[in-house]
């Protein structure tokens, strides 16, 4: 996808130096385009924790490259236990998006299996590239399946399809295409008129800052709205469809996503607006049956709520928002129960949000 007319992925190797991994610094968008470099596993931990990179699929792929950087740094001694330690360290950077553990475990198993064979570094790098390529392919396929849903609505309605989304489940949260935005981009490219209601997504404003930015770069009509506006729009027939992403989805179809998603699902349910969740299979947690009780919810720094960041003449600045003595709660995610989800759009197709339908698409998971 594009930034200032130039094609980008969100993560790549530095040109001419395969020991440096580069990412777009998402803390600076939409005000500044800056590249952040990772040379060590500690840099990778920092990038994930401080949200230089964010969004479940990108967190996973970044961690995969982090394991490659850990391998580059490995001295003599007990290599296996150091690698296991680095893997746990990376996994502790953020708790909710399961893509992180998925990618780290996949890399660790690969490295430990191959540790005695030749070309380990090159092959580990290939493995990280492969996980990246799979996420791009998943995004594209999610886009094709989701496109059919948008097309159906357009056929019935005959005019612009209004889609509401929350947070940033766009290409910036992935590698390319995005999850929730992939069907939107595919529809837009096909000439289907779409318009996106973009929830601003306090406290970090991933909607206002990132989703609006990338939709703008791709020329997709959109309107940024305060987080509390969706219910009103739905009551007045101004939303045809909600599509959001996910950070972790239980095997029973409960969906953890950015805080506030649950309230959108309730409003959609009350107004008969279809509520879809787009996710690659790396976002399923096959071990969790009850998302509300079992998915760990990240609590972040209170200053994300008590302050707000924006652009001032001399750069990005924060200003204080609330009385100094007031307490703050900052839960990063909530869980939307499966009963409020119309369907899950995956790289293998669309299914209902229940265990039977999910396992029909992913039969190999039944016996793992
Ligand atoms: O805290 P963030 O910005 O990492 O949260 C991101 C989200 O909640 C996204 O909606 C989710 O990761 C899906 S990304 C395709």
Q: In this predicted model, what pLDDT tens digit does every residue of 233-260 receive, in sequence order?
A: 999 999 999 999 999 999 999 999 999 9
Binding residues: 54-56, 94, 206, 257-258
Q: Which of 328, 284, 279, 283 is nearest to 180 (CA)?
A: 279
Per-residue pLDDT tens over the stretch 39-90: 999 999 999 999 999 999 999 999 999 999 999 999 887 889 999 999 999 9
> What are the tens digits of pLDDT across the range 283-328?
999 999 999 999 999 999 999 999 999 999 889 999 999 999 999 9
Point out the ligand 1 atom lying closest to the alpha carbon of residue 179.
15
pLDDT at 238: 98
Candidates 259, 240, 257, 268; CA nearest to 201 is 259
The pLDDT of residue 158 is above 90: yes
Query: How far, in Å, is the centroid of ligand 1 from the Cα of 14?
Result: 25
Q: Where are the alpha helices (DSSP H) in 190-284?
A: 206, 212-218, 230-235, 261-270
Note if the pTM is more than 0.90: yes
Binding residues for substrate: 54-56, 94, 206, 257-258
Question: Alpha-carbon torsion 349, 354, 360, 365, what sign?
Answer: positive
What residues are annotated to the active site? 247
pLDDT at 116: 85
Distances (CA, A) of 234 to 45, 146, 171, 264, 267: 40, 20, 26, 10, 7
257 lines ligand 1 (CB under 6 A): yes
What is the Å distance from ligand 1's center to 58 Cα?
9
Q: What is the model's pLDDT at position 366?
A: 87
Q: Rounded CA gap, 181 and 19, in Å?
A: 32
Q: Which atom of ligand 1 is the closest one to the Cα of 245?
A: 13
Is the Cβ atom of 56 under 6 angstroms away from ligand 1? Answer: yes
Q: Of 70-84, 124-138, 188-202, 308-322, which range is least confident?
A: 70-84
Please give the Cα distance from 333 to 85 (Å, whole number): 27
Residue of the nearest CA to atom 5 in ligand 1?
Answer: 55
Q: Is 43 exposed, middle or buried (0-12, 13-18, 19+ CB in 10 A)?
A: middle
Q: Which tens digit of pLDDT belongs to each residue from 16-40?
A: 999 999 999 999 999 999 999 999 9
Report how far residue 346's alpha carbon sits from residue 168's, in angstroms, rounded to the nearest whole number: 17
368: pLDDT strictly greater than 80: no
Of 336, 349, 359, 338, the closest CA to residue 146 belongs to 349
Q: What CA–CA distance (Å, rounded) separates 196 from 164?
A: 6
Which ligand 1 atom is nearest residue 278's CA? 15
Give residue 157's pLDDT: 98
The 3-state DSSP class for residue 193 equals: coil
Q: How confident is the model at residue 197, as a pLDDT?
A: 99
Question: Is the CB of 334 inside a 6 Å radius of any atom of ligand 1?
Answer: no
- State the chain's mean pLDDT as an integer: 97
257 alpha carbon – ligand 1 mean position (Å): 6
Q: Is the pLDDT of residue 117 over 90?
A: no
Say yes or no: CB of residue 146 within 6 Å of ligand 1: no
pLDDT of residue 152: 98
Ligand 1 centroid vs 256 CA: distance in angstroms?
9
ipTM of the complex: 0.98
């Amino acid at each position: 996808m594009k930034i200032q007319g130039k094609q980008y992925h969100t993560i790549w190797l530095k040109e001419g130096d395969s020991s440096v991994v580069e990412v777009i610094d998402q803390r600076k968008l939409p005000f500044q385009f800056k590249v952040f470099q990772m040379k060590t596993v500690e840099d990778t931990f920092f990038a994930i924790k401080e949200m230089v990179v964010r969004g479940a699929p990108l967190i996973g792929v970044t961690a995969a490259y982090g394991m490659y950087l850990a391998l580059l740094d490995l001295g003599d001694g007990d290599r296996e236990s150091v690698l296991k330690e680095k893997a746990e360290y990376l996994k502790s950077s953020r708790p909710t998006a399961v893509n992180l553990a998925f990618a780290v475990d996949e890399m660790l198993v690969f490295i430990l299996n191959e540790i005695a064979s030749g070309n380990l570094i090159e092959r580990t790098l290939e493995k990280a590239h492969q996980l990246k390529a799979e996420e791009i392919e998943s995004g594209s396929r999610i886009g094709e399946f989701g496109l059919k849903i948008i097309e159906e609505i357009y056929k019935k309605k005959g005019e612009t399809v209004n889609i509401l989304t929350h947070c940033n489940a766009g290409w910036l949260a992935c590698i390319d295409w995005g999850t929730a935005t992939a069907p939107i981009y595919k529809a837009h490219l096909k000439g289907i008129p779409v318009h996106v209601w973009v929830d601003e997504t306090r406290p970090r404003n991933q909607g206002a800052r990132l989703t609006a930015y990338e939709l703008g770069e791709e020329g997709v009509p959109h309107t940024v709205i305060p987080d509390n506006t969706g219910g009103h729009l739905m009551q007045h027939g101004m939303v045809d469809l909600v599509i959001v992403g996910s950070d972790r989805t239980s095997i029973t179809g409960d969906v953890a996503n950015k805080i506030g998603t649950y309230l959108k699902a309730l409003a959609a349910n009350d107004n008969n607006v279809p509520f879809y969740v787009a996710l690659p299979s790396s976002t399923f947690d096959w071990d969790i049956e009850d998302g509300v009780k079992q998915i760990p919810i990240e609590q972040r720094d209170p200053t994300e709520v008590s302050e707000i960041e924006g652009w001032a003449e001399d750069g990005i600045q924060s200003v204080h928002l609330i009385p100094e003595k007031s307490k703050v709660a900052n839960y990063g995610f909530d869980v939307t129960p499966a009963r409020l989800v119309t369907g899950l759009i995956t790289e293998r197709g669309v299914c209902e949000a229940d265990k039977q339908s999910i396992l029909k698409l992913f039969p190999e998971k039944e016996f793992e």
